Amino acid sequence: MMIKGEYYVGDLCYVLHDEWEEVCSLLFAGRDDHGCNQGEFNLKDGRRFAIYNTKYGDGNYFDQNGKSYDVDAGSIGCILMEDIDLGHPDNFIAGGQQVTFDQDFYTGEQNGKIMIGFISIETDPLEQEEYEY
C-alpha cells in the first residue's frame, strides 16, 4: 500500500536517474529467467515506489480519462513527488502525470491494466480495441 500524497505517475526512468541502477537491481533480484518483478519496493534510503510492466513494452499509453503516459523502460509506476530530485537536469516530469491521492491507495497490474489508486492505465491495445466496439 502506498501512502497518500502528491505523486508522479509514469515511467520512473524519467525521474529516478541516479537511482535507476538500484531500481533495476530490485526488479531483477533473484530472477533466473531474466524476467522482471513488479510491485511495491523500497530504495535503500527508504523511499517507496510502485512499478508495473506494460503489456507491450515502450510506447504511449492512456488512462481512463485520456491522460497520456510516455514509456521508455517498459513500465509505469509511481513515487512521491517529494522523493524525486526535481533539480535533476534530465527529469522529464511531462512524460507522466502529477496526481494527488487524498487517501492511502493500492497498486497492481492485471492482464496489462495498471492500477495506481483511482488511475487505470490500459497497456494492452487489443483490450482497448475490444472496449471501443
pLDDT at 20: 93
The single-letter DSSP state of residue 2 is B
pLDDT at 30: 63
> What are the cell numbers at 62?
492512456
pLDDT at 133: 41
CA distance 112 to 92: 24
pLDDT at 37: 85
Q: Which residues contact 19 (CB under 8 A, 6 or more apart)?
A: 43
133 residues of the chain, pLDDT tens digit each: 999 999 999 999 999 999 999 999 888 876 555 557 899 999 999 999 999 999 999 999 999 999 999 999 999 999 999 999 999 999 999 999 999 999 999 999 999 999 999 999 999 977 655 444 4
pLDDT at 132: 47
Q: Which residues contact 66 (CB under 8 A, 6 or more apart)?
A: none
Its sign, for the CA torsion 94, 48, 115, 56, is: positive
Q: Which helix (H) or strand (E) covers residue 128, if one does?
A: helix 125-132
**How many residues are there in the chain?**
133
> What are the cell numbers at 72?
521508455
For the segment 57-82, what is each residue's pLDDT rounded down to a tens digit? 999 999 999 999 999 999 999 999 99
Which residues share a beta bridge with 62? 68, 122
CA distance 64 to 80: 21
pLDDT at 27: 87
